[in-house]
Structure 1
Amino acid sequence: MKILNILTSTFILAGFSSTHAQAGEFAALAIDKNNGFYYGWSYNHPSSIVAEKYAKDECMKKNGKNCTVVLSWSGNGCGVYRTVEGNVGTSYGWGIATTQAEADKIAIQNVLKRSNGKIASNYVWACNSNDKNKLKIIKNDDFNVKTVKIGSQVWMAENLSVSHFRNGDVIPLAKSDNEWVTLAKERKPLSRIFEDNSNKEKQYGRHYNWYVANDPRGICPIGFHVPKSSEWKILSKTLGNNPDVVATKLKSKTEWSGTDDYGFNALPTGYIYYWDGELRGTKYSAKFGTSSSYNSSYIDIAHLQDDLKIGAMGKYTEGYSIRCIKD
């Protein structure tokens, strides 16, 4: 692959020059997942339909046999696509962010997950060069978010389990009780896989301290954010505002004593206690982090057990599950 700087003002693609601003600009990436060297980019298009079709056509022109769109977006954002060298394999990865540098960090990590640690030196990138609207992800096969709509809100229907901030920076990971206590004292972002068991991470997610939840680099997928305590209160009100009834409606049917009326599927993942780093309360409770702080000692959390309590019951250095909510 060649490195393409497609922000160059003289570059023209599909009849749309980057010297002319569009009311709204759309971009897309299509690849052949069976062979990462076959790909197609498009950018600065007037609609997602046009951008995705162009990207798919470009992929097919490179002899891709099963080209599919894996990424599309609108607004002020950049996508990066990387592959390993041909003599190593066909592993690939992509990233999307507000800048090319941030997207590249994500793409590099994406490749490493597929390549068993082999570095991907080949890359191309594309940006909507003139659109100043906020970045909006239309499609991203690398991060398909399960969601549930309850009233006017759209929540993730599973616990967050990401290892990197939105810009590609690594979130520090504690692997034991002692590590959690030691690192938490530094009052910096920290995560921990549920029960320190990577086989359970996808189902149960990770625990994060408040410094992750409130970090400006962002932990939720683009288009989502860590909820404020006020947004948890809106959820409770939507479900009737009876703490006992609300709890039952949110709890999982299969792993908890709930009815899971809306598909929120809350799991009893407990929390990580600040004093000794122990995972506590599993099987009968779950504590969810928010981005809201109460004072210098306490933060607001949502505590789900026999009922749902929302308020200043959490510590900055404890670990909580996170459910992102749509912007």
Structure 2
Amino acid sequence: MTDDRDGHVYKTVELGCKWWMAENLAFDSENSFEGKYGRLYEWGALADACPFGWHVSTVDEWQDLINRVHKEFRNNAVLRSTTGWDVDSSRIDDEEWGGNVKGTDGLGFSIFPDGYVYYGEGGTPRYEGVGSAANFWTVDYIQSDRDVVVFDNHLETEFMDATDPDAYSVRCVKD
């Protein structure tokens, strides 16, 4: 899929009944930061983040994807990239740790651990979690009006409240 706004070409993959971008959105817009694997966006940038015909993923879309993957593969390693994840090699076989934290990218979805941008003391933005977590905005309301889905290096996935003006990755889904 080519983004007409900047000519960037994105890999896409059909998972379930949805077409997803198979990489993080990289459109340079106001209220976004350059990440290692795409851009990280503040909440205010989401309205126009995705190209025409695509939208920021929803909680239901993520939940459906995660449920399908867990039903068939038992964990989310098939959604994760094979590189970029911090690995404690002494714990790879530890059942509590979750096993193959690097991922297999078996479905071509390529979740990379881009972390997020956090505004620390004094309002200075700083990168956190690079190598250990992938955080994606959703456009739904679960517990607050700004929620993200988080994949960590323990093969865990959770939905959590985000704080404004933190910045997270975006995956777009075809309308």
TM-score, reference length from structure 2? 0.77
How many pairs are equivalent?
154
Residue 261 of structure 1 is matched in structure 2 by 106
Q: 1:290 aligns with which of 124, 132, 138?
A: 138
Q: Which of 7, 22, 25 is the aligned partner of 1:160?
A: 25
User: Contact conserved, 1:274 with 1:315, CA < 8 A, in 2?
Assistant: no
Q: Could you say which residue in structure 2 is the equivalent of 1:146?
A: 11
Taking a change above 3 Å as real, the CA distance of residues 222 and 325 of structure 1, as seen in their structure-2 partners, is same
Q: Distance in 1 between the 2:20 and 2:162 partners?
A: 21
Query: Is 2:149 the counterpart of 1:302?
Result: yes
Aligned equivalents of 2:139 and 2:156: distance in 1?
18
8 Å CA contact retained: 1:210, 1:291: no
Q: Could you list the structure 1 runs, at least 4 aligned residues long, displaced by more than 4 angstroms after superposition.
A: 241-244
1:318 aligns with 2:148: no
* Partner residue of 1:251 out of 80, 90, 110: 80
- 1:223 equivalent in structure 2: 53
Report if the CA contact (8 A) 2:150-2:160 is conserved: no
C-alpha distance 311-241 of structure 1, shift in aligned 2 (>3 A)? farther
In structure 2, how many angstroms separate the alpha carbons of the residues matched to 1:304 and 1:286?
A: 5
Distance 1:315 1:294, change over 3 A: farther
One-letter amino acid matched to 1:323: R
In structure 2, do the counterparts of structure 1 residues 241 and 289 end up closer, same or farther at CA, with 3 Å as the change threshold?
farther
- Percent of matched pairs sharing the same residue: 33
Task: Please state whether the residue corresponding to 1:291 is helix, strand or coil.
Answer: coil
Whether the aligned pair in 2 keeps the contact of 1:269 and 1:285 (CA below 8 Å) is: yes
User: Structure 2: any 5+ residue segments left out of the alignment?
Assistant: 86-101
Distance 1:230 1:143 in 2: 27
Alignment of 1:120-199 (within 5 A): 142-163=7-28, 171-172=29-30, 190-194=31-35
Q: Structure 1's 236 and 144: CA in aligned 2 closer, same or farther, altered over 3 A?
A: same
Instruction: Give 1:322 shift.
Output: 0.7
If the length of structure 1 is used for normalisation, what is the TM-score?
Answer: 0.43
Counterpart position of 2:39: 206
- Following the alignment from structure 1 to structure 2, what is the Cα–Cα distance between the partners of residues 323 and 295? 21
The letter of the residue matching 2:82 is K
Pairwise CA RMSD of aligned residues?
Answer: 2.5
Which has the higher relative contact order, 1 or 2, with Cα contacts under 8 A spaced 6 or more apart? 2
1:243 shift after superposition = 10
Q: Which has the higher helix share?
A: 1
- Which one-letter code corresponds to 1:265 in the other structure? S
**What amino acid sits opposite 1:237 in the alignment?**
N
State which structure, 1 or 2, has the greater radius of gyration over its C-alpha atoms.
1
State the alpha-carbon separation in 1 of the partners of residues 119 and 74 from structure 2.
27
Measured after TM superposition, the shift of residue 313 of structure 1 is: 2.6
CA–CA separation in structure 2 for the residues paired with 1:293 and 1:245: 25
